[in-house]
Structures are given as C-alpha cells and as structure tokens.
Structure 1
C-alpha cells in the first residue's frame, strides 16, 4: 500500500538525526535489588552487632541496616570501663538552640579543670611524701593525731583510778580494808558478815566517771577459808547506785560499771555471799576501778 500523499500546507515530519534513538528502541527498566551499603557504621557503646554481616546498628533498630537480618540475638557493644567514670553528656532537647547550653558547657569545663588540678596536686603530694623525709614525718604526725581524735569519739580510753583513802565498817585483825586496794595478789580484806553487811568506802579526792573494775574474791591461798562476795551494791556520792554480780572464782574478773559520773567516792556493800562451810567472814582480795581519762 502506498502512503497517502501529503496535503498542500501540511507539516512535514522532521528528519531523524544521525544516532538518534528510534521509536521502539527504548527498553523498559527491570526492577532489581537496591545496591548494598559500602560504608560501615563505626560501632558505638550500646550498638547491636549483626551476627550475619557484622554491621553495627543503633540500639533502636530491630533489623540490620545492611543485610536485613533480625537483631534479636545481636551482640551489644560494651562501654569502655574508663568511660564509666566520666560525666555523661545529655544531647540537647528538641527545639533548643546549642548556644543556650554554653553556660553548662563552661561549668563542665571548669569542673574538668578542677578535677585534673586536684589529680596533679595529689600526685605531687605523693611524690613529695616519698622523697622528702621531713614532709613525710610531718604528715605521719598529723595523721596519727587525727586518727587519735577520731578514735576518741567512738572508743572510750580508760585509766586506773587509785583511791586517796579507803575505810570499812568492819574488818578482821591483820586484814584491813587497805589490802583490798593494794594491787597485791596475796593479800585480802577480811570482815565479819554480822551484825551488819560489810562495806568499803573508797575516796578518790576528785570527780570521776567509773566505767570498769577488776575484782578478785576470797582468800588467795584457800578459796573456801572464807565467804566470797556474790553481789556488790555500789553507792556513789551522787546518790546513784549500781549492782555487780560476781562469779565464785579466784581468777580476776573485769566488770562494767555505770551511773558513777561526777562521783568523788563510792561505797562497796557486800549484799550477797558465796558461802563457805568453814568460815563466818567474807574475803575480798582486790578491787580496782577504771575511769574515763
């Protein structure tokens, strides 16, 4: 079939340029996979490491940004140990301008400078302490004094209190009351138990705060030769009292004492006895008091 002749005045088709694409030559594009990522993300503390491709993913992701694998069992990047001691920086809140945080940044900078200054000063002091004997002696002396002062706040230091005078309401020949406070182990105060309860009076000549006492009862050579105190009733010059329960043993007994603050003397009454089958007197070998220094 011959092409229809062109009408007079009709537009002529433009001639094709050499190398121009002919109609129908363009091929439709076929769908394909997206190109794989080439740059790897630097791992940060808390990131999730994909077990398939090793990509570091932000903690908020559920699937790997590189291969698409699930991150349920992904390894978490641990924070370096030394970073735990550094202050955490909070990201600026949404809608705020960075220049509003300049004051906070300045404060953090000052704090960091102070920490470094303290560290340098501390290292310098340690160096001087190790190299300069006179400085080391000064520091040791000050430290000992401070430790002693602090210890005094919690630990009560006691000292023996010697009576300036000692009397009794009863005594047996050759065993006066002074023998109960002479610090000798082979002497003792001996007193009849009737018609009144035996009692010692120890005068200290000043106000004391008694806290402890060392007591030895009986005749040191023969425990059963006389009665032994079982309970002592202490009466202080302040009017307060305190009772002591004493074991029946020739060994030294250290007992606690209370209620004596401000007393200048104490009466020691023997109110109960460990009884002997052979004697009718009570023997007290030693009584020594300790007060707050």
Structure 2
C-alpha cells in the first residue's frame, strides 16, 4: 500500500471544502439595513396622465348646453358634460343667429300610415298631408318665373311696353313720396275768445312769439263757473280743413312758475270731439287732428294741468294749426 505524505493529504482536504463568502469590512456588524446617503438631484419630469376625454365636437346646435369648462355642446337634457363631466347647471344655452331666426322653421313631416297595397309602389306626394299645397306653390313659382322672363324681354325689346312700365313706376313713386314727405300749410286763426289773466290775453296764443303766453286761473277741482274760464274758442275767417296741431305749453322763460296743460279736449264745428294728452315739456308738441274737416271753429277745453310751485294757473305760449297741401 503506497504511503501519502502529510502535505499532500492537507491539499486534498482543502480542495474538498467550499470557500466562504468574503465579508465587507465597511458593513456594520449589528445587521441594520439603512439606505445609503443620496445627494440632491434635479427634478425629473413626470409622465403625462392619460386623457380620458372624448374628441371635442365643435358642431353646436341651437338649444345645446355649452360646457363652461371645455366648450362642448351638449343635449338640453344632459346634467353633466359628455366630454369632461363638468356640471351643466349654469351652462349657457346656444341660440340661433339673428338671420337664422328670420327663416321659417319647419318641423318634422308627419305622414299618416295607410293600409298599403303591398306592391311596393310609393305614395303620390300630392296625396300626402301638405303635399297638395307644396305642389301648387311649386307651379306658381314656375309660372311667375316664366312671366318675369317674358316681361324682361318685352321691356328690353318693345318700346311701348317699356314706356307704359316707366309711367306706372313714376306714378307710384310720386304717390309714395307725397305720402312720406307730406307738406303742411299754416292756417292762421282770425281770433281766439276766452277768459285770461291780466296782461296775458288770448292774442298771445296766435302771435307766433313763444316769449309771450296766455294764462288763466286753474284749480285741481273745477266747478261749473271755473270750467268756463278754461275754455278757448278758436275762430277762422273761412271754412278750413285741419290736419295738424302744434302746442307750446308753459310760459316761456318762467316755465316752472306756471301750470302747464296736461289734457285738453277739442270740439270742432261738425261736433266731432278728440282728446289731446300733452307731455310736461317746453318744446312744441305735434298732434294729428282727426275729423277736423270743413270747420270754422275749434273749442279747446283744458281739463287737467301739471301743477306749478308758485302760481295756481295754467299757461300756453303758442297754438298753431296746419292743413295738408293737396
């Protein structure tokens, strides 16, 4: 049996033993796992979150609720926005443009369901509700278009027709101009009869001087005798037709020191009567007269007045009458 030396035996035993892991001398022997110290670093940008909103619909119809958060149009019955979920309690309602509101709105066409023949043929549109009027209107437009084209050809090629059309247009234009630009002629009264305060006679009503005025005592509740004092009778030297009245109320420069007429009644020679309501203004006020045809006198009765701070009277600076030129 061969003899093994002691050194060779030790080498063989050392090769059979597994090596142990090395121990870091820096680690603490107490077993605590604390993180290492980290130096401050620049902030890293965060990845954007996922957008859960649906694609925006820019078609907004009249009546839709406009979301105040994203501007999306929503159906009127919705409580929350279909795009972002924002509450629509205070959302604005989309309105149609002004030019769109001028067009005639047409609702859905309702056609009664018939029994049908089973042949697959379509129903005649003229027999449907409203179809007869639509067909008639289409024919009218066709006929009108043809007549317009024929008229244009005649106007361009036939001189007598062109002259007749020009004369009719000129006549209509003259009539319209006379109606829109009516010219009035002043009608001067011969005199005005009635009571007056001292130095403020009725001649001041027709002297064409707004600085002078007529006045008479006036009370809030007039008795029979006091009512007669507030009555003026305007007389003309001939029979006239009156179309317009201009009243300048008050006393000119001392406007607030005298009462001003608030309501007057006019009675014409033909017994026709009308009421005139005046504003509390020192400017001339214009009124259209109705029924003042073929008259010679106008009775003016003051029934109400704007009160003054000082005096207890009513004053009028000027009364003017006009007739329409024929």
The TM-score normalised by the length of structure 2 is 0.45
The TM-score normalised by the length of structure 1 is 0.49
